[in-house]
């Protein structure tokens, strides 16, 4: 069990859960998805680089089966540090340091538009309280070696302040302003799987400075690491790999 699902099951505090993320080893992902389908769930939307297509069913919480973690290398050591989830037979969670680190990376790196959001700070504060001093030192060590170290430390600082029960200073005002623009003056644009993710990524890269913006352009020219979620593009990649790769790179550059 990952992120909000851990808090929903292990904490007495209320938590808003849009979907439940479940992590299994790669060879077991399709097996779990098949079991969910047998229970009345069905796939919706495209799969991602780290998870299968979401499973939904009437009057249930959506379930996302992960076989990897975005922006985190899932090592054998992390699997070995996983521990049983209290009160939930058969379910486990990441170790305390790994759980906190995943929450930080998920908010700051994978989904920068969520930096400083109340829900993410609440989850980070809950995870921080579960860490020992040694585990917190490990998280700080990982943060110190990350390219977005300042942003990661800002989120940890807000989680500490919230956990202590005192006032919390918002370190992500620029991100809040960007979100206001996206949901307010630019809200009429709506959501598009074609351009929204690229636009969000580029916008928040601008907030992080020239180095992150340059990284966006470098990623746009890199060879895709996974098949396109779009049927036509995926077929083109299979039949003409080089042409398909060029087309995908051209589309990524155009989106940026």
Residues 6+ apart with CB under 8 A from 163: 125, 128, 129
pLDDT at 199: 76
- Residue whose C-alpha is closest to residue 96's, from 104, 88, 148: 104
pLDDT at 193: 64
pTM for this predicted structure: 0.86
- Residue whose C-alpha is closest to residue 66's, from 77, 53, 75, 85: 53
Residue at token pair 């690491």: 225
Q: How many CB atoms lie within 10 A of CB 9?
A: 17
Q: State whether residue 16 is helix, strand or coil.
A: coil
Would you give per-residue pLDDT tens digits along the chain (256 residues)?
999 999 988 888 788 888 999 999 999 999 999 999 999 999 998 888 899 999 999 999 999 999 999 999 999 999 999 999 887 888 999 999 999 999 999 999 998 889 999 999 999 999 999 999 999 999 999 999 998 999 999 999 999 999 999 999 999 999 999 888 888 887 777 767 666 777 777 788 888 888 778 887 887 787 776 667 677 777 888 888 888 888 878 877 877 7
pLDDT at 151: 93
pLDDT at 116: 93
């Amino acid at each position: 069990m990952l992120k909000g699902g851990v808090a929903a099951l292990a904490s007495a505090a209320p938590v808003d859960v849009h979907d439940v993320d479940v992590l299994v080893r790669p060879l077991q992902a399709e097996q779990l998805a098949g079991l969910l389908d047998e229970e009345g769930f069905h796939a919706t939307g495209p799969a991602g680089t780290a998870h299968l297509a979401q499973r939904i069913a009437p009057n249930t919480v959506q379930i996302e089966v992960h076989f990897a973690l975005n922006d985190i290398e899932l090592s054998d050591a992390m699997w070995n540090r996983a521990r049983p989830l209290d009160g939930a037979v058969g379910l486990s969670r990441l170790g305390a340091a790994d759980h906190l680190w995943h929450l930080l990376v998920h908010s700051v790196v994978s989904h920068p538009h969520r930096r400083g959001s109340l829900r993410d700070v609440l989850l980070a504060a809950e995870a921080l309280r579960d860490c020992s001093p040694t585990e917190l030192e490990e998280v700080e060590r990982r943060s110190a070696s990350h390219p977005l170290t300042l942003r990661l430390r800002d989120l940890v600082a807000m989680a500490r302040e919230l956990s202590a029960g005192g006032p919390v200073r918002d370190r992500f005002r620029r991100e809040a302003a960007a979100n206001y623009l996206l949901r307010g003056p630019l809200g009429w644009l709506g959501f598009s799987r074609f351009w929204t993710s690229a636009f969000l990524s580029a916008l928040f890269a601008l907030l992080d400075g020239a180095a992150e913006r340059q990284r966006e352009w470098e990623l746009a020219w890199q060879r895709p690491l996974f098949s396109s979620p779009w049927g036509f593009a995926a077929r083109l990649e299979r039949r003409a790999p080089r042409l398909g790769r060029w087309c995908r790179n051209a589309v990524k550059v155009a989106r940026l």
